[in-house]
Amino acid sequence: MTEFEEYRQELLGLLGQDDPVAVLRTTLLEVQRMSEHASEVELNRSPLPGEWSPREVLSHLADSDLMVNVRVRMIVTQDRPQLVGYDQEAWTARFGNLDSASEIVERWRVLRGANLRMFESLSGEEWQRVGMHTERGPESALLTVQLMAGHDRMHLEQIRRGLALPV
């Protein structure tokens, strides 16, 4: 099993049988709740050396929503489009501290809202359409959104640890 297959299985395991769109909506509410009660100091504190701070995780979530938006649009409107991977570490290192934590949350909130509206508009046929991810191979719109929901659950745990909140 490749590294990407293991990662895929980890994220799908975190999702389980849950509705991915419902999970994404819940994450939106949970992140807003956590960030409202956290100070900039708490949001900028890394839980362990080498780990992202909650602010950096939030920036990464915004980046992920941006990429998923483009990927799902391409899958739905093109015939087996190429879905390009990106270096999340480089994006976070370069852009993760441009905005305040509250600005990052607002950017992510807007992106997530747009994604939820798009996902809710998809037909059964559109959910099954496939793109070719440059690192992970064929991915349907449904699999892309399922992975996103598992990804949310993984990073929610990381934000909680960073803010020292109960799991």
pLDDT digits (tens, 9 = 90+) for 12-69: 999 999 999 999 999 999 998 888 888 888 898 888 888 899 999 999 999 999 999 9
Tell me the pLDDT tens digit for each residue of 64-118.
999 999 999 999 999 999 999 999 999 998 988 888 888 998 999 999 999 999 9
List, as one string, the DSSP characters of 55-92: HHHHHHHHHHHHHHHHHHHHHHHSSS-EE----HHHHH
> Does 123 reside within a domain?
yes
List, as one string, the DSSP characters of 136-154: TEEEEHHHHHHHHHHHHHH
- The boundaries of the domain holding residue 84 are 3-162
pTM here?
0.93
> Does 133 reside within a domain?
yes
> Does 150 reside within a domain?
yes
> Does 140 reside within a domain?
yes
> Does 153 reside within a domain?
yes
> Does 167 reside within a domain?
no
Q: Is 81 in contact with 131 (CB distance < 8 Å)? A: yes
> Does 114 reside within a domain?
yes
Give the three-class secondary structure for 97. Answer: coil
Instruction: Count up the domains in the chain and report the number.
Output: 1
d(Cα 18, Cα 58) in Å, to the nearest integer?
23
pLDDT of residue 49: 87
- Domain with residue 131: its CATH number is 1.20.120.450
